[in-house]
Amino acid sequence: MALDPAEQHLRHVEKDVLIPKIMREKARERCSEQVQDFTKCCKDSGLLMVVKCRKENSALKECLTAYYNDPAFYEECKMEYLKEREEFRKTGIPTKKRLQKLPTSM
């Protein structure tokens, strides 16, 4: 049974695991300032980070949650996933490996 590369139907695991994974990665990139602030606070505070980094943790959670709850962001990540899946179904090569195997110079 051959899969149509352009087919848009999403399986349960794609909706609930794979697309949210892309969302987390992209949200962390877009909230990089808050991630850096929280990381720095944790490194500077040691064991007291739970108490000392509440402000940074709240800012990070707020930023990430804004992206997680944004339907447009979900659609953006879903389309990115579908594009990657379509390319995989055409070539049989996962995106990460395809990007790694590109020649650096000729």
Neighbour count for residue 48 (Cβ, 10 Å): 10
Considering the domain boundaries, does residue 66 fall inside one? yes
Considering the domain boundaries, does residue 104 fall inside one? no
Confidence of residue 58 (pLDDT cuts 50, 70, 90): very high
Where is pLDDT greater, at 11 or 104? Answer: 11
Considering the domain boundaries, does residue 8 fall inside one? no
Q: Quick one: pLDDT at residue 6? A: 67
**Distance in angstroms between the alpha carbons of the first and the last residue of the chain:** 39
Residue 78 Cα to chain centre, angstroms: 11
Q: What domain count does the chain have?
A: 1
